[in-house]
Structure 1
Amino acid sequence: MSKENMNLPKAPKDLCFSEVDFIQGNFNVDTFLQEHRKNTKLETMRDDLGIYLKLLRSAMIDLINRDYTDFVNLSSNMIGLDKAINDLQTPLGQLREEVMQVQQTLDDEVTTITHDMNENKKVREYKQSIFSLQHIYRCLAKLSSILSLNTFLESPVKIDILEQAAAEFNQLQFHMSRCKLEGEKLEQSYMTHLNEFFLACVHEKNSALLIRCLGIYITLDKISDAEDLVRKEIVSPLVHSVINIENLNTDLLGLQNIYNRLLNILDVELKQLLDITLHPNRLSVKGFNFLVNSFWIDVEEKIEQYIKCIFAPGDPVLFHLRYVATLEFLQKLEAECVTPESLIALLKNSQYKNFLKKWNLPVYFQIRFQEIASGIETVLIEPILPASVKRTLESLTQSDFSLHATCIVWENLQRIWDDNVYLYQLFHRFWKLSLQICARYRIWIQSVLKEVWPIENETSNLNKVENSKKLNFLIYLYKDAEKFANVLPSLLEIVRSKLKQEQKTPRILTLLKDSLDETISNLKIVSLQITNEIIDELLKQCVTHLKQVSDIPRLFRRTKREVPTKPCAYVKNALAFLVSFHTEYRMIIPDNVNYWLELTLSMLTEHYLASVTDVLTSVQKTEESLRRLKKIRDKSTGSLASEIQGISDDEKIRIQLQVDVQSYANMITEMQISTLNVLHMKELLHAVETAVKR
């Protein structure tokens, strides 16, 4: 319905729009909202549209009520119309057949007449060409006589001669234009003979005649024709027999075999042509490029037409094999370009550039990324179990990793740079993936350190290190992180070997080293966190026994015990786990064991010093309190203070603490650890010695 026939109900004036807005030819909802939103809010516009919608519904109902009778009459008048149409269908069909027969007869007659007229036209043109050739000969003879040098110089009316010659020249041009068709036929006939002779020379490998034929093509400015001829008659049939899906699917090296056969075409069928045209000293046939314009263009088109599936990256293994084979083929093809000009022509060829773009390397990388990342992630998200430890204690001194997770991470890191996965065009992506894997391994270590381990069976002998699964795992984890950081420089050497010679610039090498050094530095920070966890685990097994220090005063007060000469059991119990740890690991990782024990003993000694200090302080306070009470009691009874016979309970407590601390120091020394390297040890010994001397 046209805009003139549209009678929309009038919109109230207080609305933010007019009814005319909706019947514009270029009406657009977004434009409508954008224009009216400048003048009013969306909520107001929504309410106005609701009001106008009610007006439209009311108008529609009125229209239906007004024209209801016409609608009903229209449907009743169409009763029986389908029968009338069916009655007309048969005679109309017969009439259509008769018309088509007449039309076919007329078309046949027109075709016959047209063919006869074309034949007559060719005859007339041939007669005209013969007539024009006769006139050309006469005009040339006449022009030669008119423009004869002697006649022209001796004639007093040179302008007349020039005018006469101009008329003859026009006649000559007119007749030459009428002979153009004949000239084209002669040219076509000549090129046919030349092409046949040229192909015969190629097959016979006659260099002398080939050079002369190529010289003719240059003379006639038909270089591109010669290249197209070689492509269609020599290259195309051979390439067609090589590039097909059957040859591709013979085996995994199907594409490699295809490329080898294509190179064989260059070495056998086109070798002589290439040697002649690409020879730097043969200027007489310069300008031909059969390698690009005859061979490569046809090869690329046939690949695109028959084995386009080689570009699909869905199977990464197959894609990698085919892409590497393609790069080798292109490198050999570039090597055939013995002159810089021919090489530039190949590299700048549009089909050559598009061919390289068809290999979807980003998709290949994403598939490899998912393979490698999912393999690593599957292992790293598994809960920590005894099976996570892959090897025995002896593996701690070997180059192999002890944890299954570390083995998988390192194997996948090496896999990235394997010749069956790596592509130098994706070097930056694979390097980034390597750094991401290292970062993921570091984050996994940090998450493992935060993991809550199940409470170990209290009935087991916790003084034995083999019963502490968490501690054993932490030691394996520490050594794996250390080994992992140490082998990363070897990964850098592998990465450097994958770089092309032109990529080995000082800037790139520096960037690679800096990024890897940062990764190694982060791993060493994580190793410190593991060390802290190991120390916490060792300390947890020892520090609980030091609580018994506070029980020493109860052992001697009012018990009349003898002066202590042996250490309490808690000293041995507190160090038993560390002794066991030292015995089990000292022959395997002595440096690490001594370092961890020194840190653990320093923290344990700090706890021990605090406990001893508390006991000594408490004893001293108790002693002073008893002394004051005794003085008060003696004053009240009027008796003099009697001297204490023998050693008091408080002194026995101090002596016991001294014996315990000395035994503690001796046990540390027996573990081949110098007490000088144990923090707070000197303060602990001084505290008990000072207390005893009082």
Structure 2
Amino acid sequence: MSDSVASLPSPRSAADVFWDDSRPPLWFNPSPFLSPVFDSESFISDLLRTFVPFDTLRSELRSHVTSLNSELLDRINRDYADFVDLSTKLVDIDATATRMRAPLLELRDEINTFRGSVEAARVARASGLNERYDAAVAREVLESSLEAFRVVSKVEKLIQEQQDGASTRETQSMVLERIASELSRIKFYMDHAQNLPFIENLEKRTQSASVLFDASLRHCFVVGLNKRDSIVIYNCLRAYAASDNIKNAEEIFRATIVAPFMRKVIAHEAYDGTSGDELENDYRQIKLFIAKDCEMLLEISSNDKSGLHVFNFLANSILKEVLSAIQKVKPGVFSPGRPTEFLKNYKASLDFLAHLEGGFSHNTIYFFCEGYYPSRSAVTKFRAEAICIEFMKQWNVGVYFSLRFQEIAGGLDSSLVFIQDSDSDKQSSPTLMLRQSVTLLESLRSCWKEDVLVFSAADKFLRLALQLLSRYCNWVSSAVNARKSNASLTPGCEWVVSATAEDFVYVIHDVNCIVSEVRGDYLGHISHYLSSCPSEVLDVVRKSILQGVESLQNVLPLVKKTIIEVIVDKSVEELSQLKGIAATCMMSNKPLPIRHSPYVVGLLRPLKAFLEGDKARHYLTHETREELLLGTLTEMTRRYYELAAGRLSDARKTETYLQKTRKNAQKRAGAAASGVADHNESGTEKMCMQLFLDLQEYGRNICALGLNPADIEPYCSLWKCVAPPDRQNKISV
């Protein structure tokens, strides 16, 4: 809402929204109309939003306009005499205006005349300045032409003296440096005097002089390199820099000094795939060559005070020739098809690059120190050189990782078929029992071996390690879930069909060993290997590894539950004898039972055999055995309770039905036989007593295993179901 509307007083009634004949409308505020930014649409929209609909407002405004017009006419009619008097008082106005117009017209003519004079002077001055500028330009061109002619003549004279060969090498190199400076001056002068016939004729002489100069400078530079004359080399390099011919100097050094040596080191022999294609020994000799035959030139060109930092002989001469020689003679070293040889040559190449930079390397991270390059910016410039980038492109680390991935991950996949422990497995890993676990740990370690890992692809190898953990975890969980759900088995999970509880003991043991190894030495090895990385990176790596281990550890409860199910399934077979108890107890001539049933002794036999077996005692911790004992007894007793309670319920229903039938028969036969068997115990009572005796014996067997039956909830439920009324509140076996 605008200030004009917000400042209005609230209307007292609906009629106050507009107006009446005795006072102006409350919504009308004249101050916004005086504002230079008054917006009628905004003003009306505020009124519409605050007070009334548009149609009503429009009607009232029209009425107000009519009222204003009427009031205006009334005021004009009322003061008409004053308007008439005003016009009569204005006497001889036209004559006064005519007298004032004459001097104004005269002044305008004078101003126009003065303006024309000023404009003519301005045009004349501009024309003079243009002529002066053209004369200055022409003079500059003439002077440049004359100076170019003089310099060309001077250069030709110097070159002629140079070809006479009477001076020493140092003198020749100094003269060549001077000629280079003069040629640069000629180029500058010719750029300022283009398209002139004189200059075009002079250009031919300049080109001829440049050719002779290039030949003389090349000869002098080669002689200086061969003679190792630092002064001559320095002067020649300055001449090349002055003539802006840097690439020629780098190419001459490559072809004259570097290329012959490379032909000796990297022999021109056909690639035959033998170990002779390794580069480590070649790089060692090249490093010695650089230190012996190239150090003087490199020191001269890398010295800050020399002004020769524009040259990059390490990249454009040495590295370029090294790459060219390898590509011609040993192209197979760049092929990742032989991963071991590829990685060895790749790391040797990285160390060689680090040597060229004057630093030392650690897993492809270069640390600058004093050497051929005087500053970090120089090292950065070296890495940005086209030949350096081209050299690194030859090493296809992505394909190398793909091959290693297939090798490592494929080895684990092929082993994920359950096979019993063997002597060979125990020899290869004294702590792990399953071949799959041994392969997993070996695969995890392979990801961070010196002869496998590429530091630049460390993130990919980290992801591979996490994928290996996940693959092993899925192998265990998928098999266990498939066994539980009776679903179709995926490849590699067939072992779960015939697996025993002891087989799952191996799984628990190996998972615990793997978790302990990865959290301990394995993670410590990775942290040490990545110690040069920022702490934030190390934290992410540690968290990802620990998260992968946690996922593997979360499989253990599922495996323990499977062991419990396997043992319980064996024990439940003995409970099938409960069917015969009901039939026996329902016999009328059968006395009350006084002994437990024979099947009770065999209920806990599988559990006892499992806990006392060598595998459980050697490969399970005490806490795990206690957990399995309690879990098995709880599940076993739950099934015992469900089966016994069901049988007892069925017996009671049957007995109730028989009693009704018997009573109906007695009513038909008369009351004489009604007292027969009134004092005999019912079949349900016999069955409860038999189950009670069995439950007591079952409880004594539980106590023999070291647990209190009262601590098992299903046992308490079964006790209340079969115990006599006077013994239900206290469990005693």
> TM-score normalised to the size of structure 2?
0.60
For the 8 Å contact 2:702–2:709, the answer to whether it is kept is yes
Displacement of 1:271 in angstroms is: 1.2
Match in the other structure for 1:251: 275
Displacement of 1:440 in angstroms is: 2.2
For the 8 Å contact 1:231–1:295, the answer to whether it is kept is yes
Match in the other structure for 1:596: 628
Displacement of 1:568 in angstroms is: 0.9
State percent identity of aligned pairs: 23
> CA–CA distance in 2 between the matches of 1:624 and 1:133?
139
Match in the other structure for 1:656: 690
Match in the other structure for 1:435: 466
Match in the other structure for 2:450: 419
Match in the other structure for 2:54: none
Match in the other structure for 2:90: none
Match in the other structure for 1:379: 415
1:195 to 190, 206, 221: 221
> CA–CA distance in 1 between the matches of 2:599 and 2:424?
32
The answer to whether the aligner puts 1:475 opposite 2:491 as a matched pair is no
Match in the other structure for 2:354: 331
Pairing of 1:264-303 with structure 2 (within 5 A): 264-280=288-304, 282-283=305-306, 285-303=308-326
Match in the other structure for 2:699: 665
The answer to whether the aligner puts 1:362 opposite 2:391 as a matched pair is no
Q: Which runs of 5+ in 2 are unaligned?
A: 1-151, 158-195, 359-371, 485-497, 729-733
In structure 2, give the amino acid aligned to 1:543.
Answer: V
For the 8 Å contact 2:426–2:433, the answer to whether it is kept is no
Instruction: Tell me the SS of whatever aligns to 1:406.
Output: helix
Match in the other structure for 2:342: 319
Displacement of 1:173 in angstroms is: 8.0
> CA–CA distance in 1 between the matches of 2:197 and 2:642?
129
Instruction: Tell me the SS of whatever aligns to 2:440.
Output: helix
In structure 2, give the amino acid aligned to 1:478.
Answer: I
1:38-71 deviation digits (Å, cap 9, x = unpaired): xxxxxxxxxxxxxxxxxxxxxxxxxxxxxxxxxx
Match in the other structure for 2:642: 610
Q: Describe the shift of the 1:298–1:563 C-alpha distance in structure 2 as closer, same or farther (beyond 3 A).
A: same
> CA–CA distance in 1 between the matches of 2:423 and 2:316?
63
> CA–CA distance in 2 between the matches of 1:563 and 1:551?
15
> CA–CA distance in 2 between the matches of 1:554 and 1:175?
132
The answer to whether the aligner puts 1:535 opposite 2:578 as a matched pair is no
> CA–CA distance in 2 between the matches of 1:261 and 1:392?
45
Q: Which runs of 5+ in 1 are unaligned?
A: 1-131, 138-169, 454-467
Match in the other structure for 2:576: 547
Q: Describe the shift of the 1:177–1:394 C-alpha distance in structure 2 as closer, same or farther (beyond 3 A).
A: closer
Q: Describe the shift of the 1:185–1:434 C-alpha distance in structure 2 as closer, same or farther (beyond 3 A).
A: closer
> CA–CA distance in 1 between the matches of 2:263 and 2:424?
62
In structure 2, give the amino acid aligned to 1:232.
Answer: A
1:556-610 deviation digits (Å, cap 9, x = unpaired): 4447556533321111111111121222266332322221232222122122222
> CA–CA distance in 2 between the matches of 1:412 and 1:393?
15
Q: Describe the shift of the 1:259–1:525 C-alpha distance in structure 2 as closer, same or farther (beyond 3 A).
A: same
The answer to whether the aligner puts 1:305 opposite 2:328 as a matched pair is yes
For the 8 Å contact 2:277–2:330, the answer to whether it is kept is no
For the 8 Å contact 2:666–2:674, the answer to whether it is kept is no
In structure 2, give the amino acid aligned to 1:322.
Answer: N
> CA–CA distance in 1 between the matches of 2:696 and 2:240?
109
Range with greater deviation from structure 2 (301-310 or 660-669): 301-310
Match in the other structure for 2:722: 688
Q: Describe the shift of the 1:656–1:234 C-alpha distance in structure 2 as closer, same or farther (beyond 3 A).
A: same
For the 8 Å contact 2:222–2:256, the answer to whether it is kept is no
In structure 1, give the amino acid aligned to 2:260.
Answer: P
Instruction: Tell me the SS of whatever aligns to 1:587.
Output: helix
The answer to whether the aligner puts 1:350 opposite 2:386 as a matched pair is yes
For the 8 Å contact 1:334–1:343, the answer to whether it is kept is yes
> CA–CA distance in 2 between the matches of 1:324 and 1:272?
28
Pairing of 1:511-522 with structure 2 (within 5 A): 511-522=540-551
1:323-359 deviation digits (Å, cap 9, x = unpaired): 1111111111122423334323311111110111122
> CA–CA distance in 1 between the matches of 2:646 and 2:222?
115
For the 8 Å contact 1:252–1:318, the answer to whether it is kept is no
For the 8 Å contact 1:415–1:421, the answer to whether it is kept is yes
Displacement of 1:665 in angstroms is: 0.9
Q: Describe the shift of the 1:246–1:257 C-alpha distance in structure 2 as closer, same or farther (beyond 3 A).
A: farther
For the 8 Å contact 1:389–1:473, the answer to whether it is kept is no
2:479 to 448, 457, 461: 448
Range with greater deviation from structure 2 (590-599 or 625-634): 625-634
For the 8 Å contact 1:631–1:641, the answer to whether it is kept is no
> CA–CA distance in 2 between the matches of 1:185 and 1:546?
109
> CA–CA distance in 2 between the matches of 1:233 and 1:672?
90
In structure 2, give the amino acid aligned to 1:599.
Answer: G
Displacement of 1:401 in angstroms is: 1.9
Q: Describe the shift of the 1:448–1:283 C-alpha distance in structure 2 as closer, same or farther (beyond 3 A).
A: same
Match in the other structure for 2:605: 576
Q: Describe the shift of the 1:394–1:323 C-alpha distance in structure 2 as closer, same or farther (beyond 3 A).
A: closer
Q: Describe the shift of the 1:375–1:558 C-alpha distance in structure 2 as closer, same or farther (beyond 3 A).
A: closer
> CA–CA distance in 1 between the matches of 2:218 and 2:606?
101
For the 8 Å contact 1:556–1:652, the answer to whether it is kept is yes
> TM-score normalised to the size of structure 1?
0.64
Displacement of 1:662 in angstroms is: 0.9
Displacement of 1:314 in angstroms is: 1.6
In structure 2, give the amino acid aligned to 1:199.
Answer: L
Q: Describe the shift of the 1:174–1:304 C-alpha distance in structure 2 as closer, same or farther (beyond 3 A).
A: closer
Displacement of 1:536 in angstroms is: 1.7
Match in the other structure for 1:228: 251
Match in the other structure for 1:587: 617
Q: Describe the shift of the 1:176–1:666 C-alpha distance in structure 2 as closer, same or farther (beyond 3 A).
A: closer
> CA–CA distance in 2 between the matches of 1:228 and 1:392?
61
Q: Describe the shift of the 1:179–1:350 C-alpha distance in structure 2 as closer, same or farther (beyond 3 A).
A: closer
Q: Describe the shift of the 1:677–1:495 C-alpha distance in structure 2 as closer, same or farther (beyond 3 A).
A: farther
> CA–CA distance in 1 between the matches of 2:664 and 2:203?
151
Match in the other structure for 1:242: 265
RMSD between superposed Cα atoms in Å: 4.1
> CA–CA distance in 1 between the matches of 2:223 and 2:518?
67
Q: Describe the shift of the 1:245–1:484 C-alpha distance in structure 2 as closer, same or farther (beyond 3 A).
A: farther
Displacement of 1:245 in angstroms is: 5.0
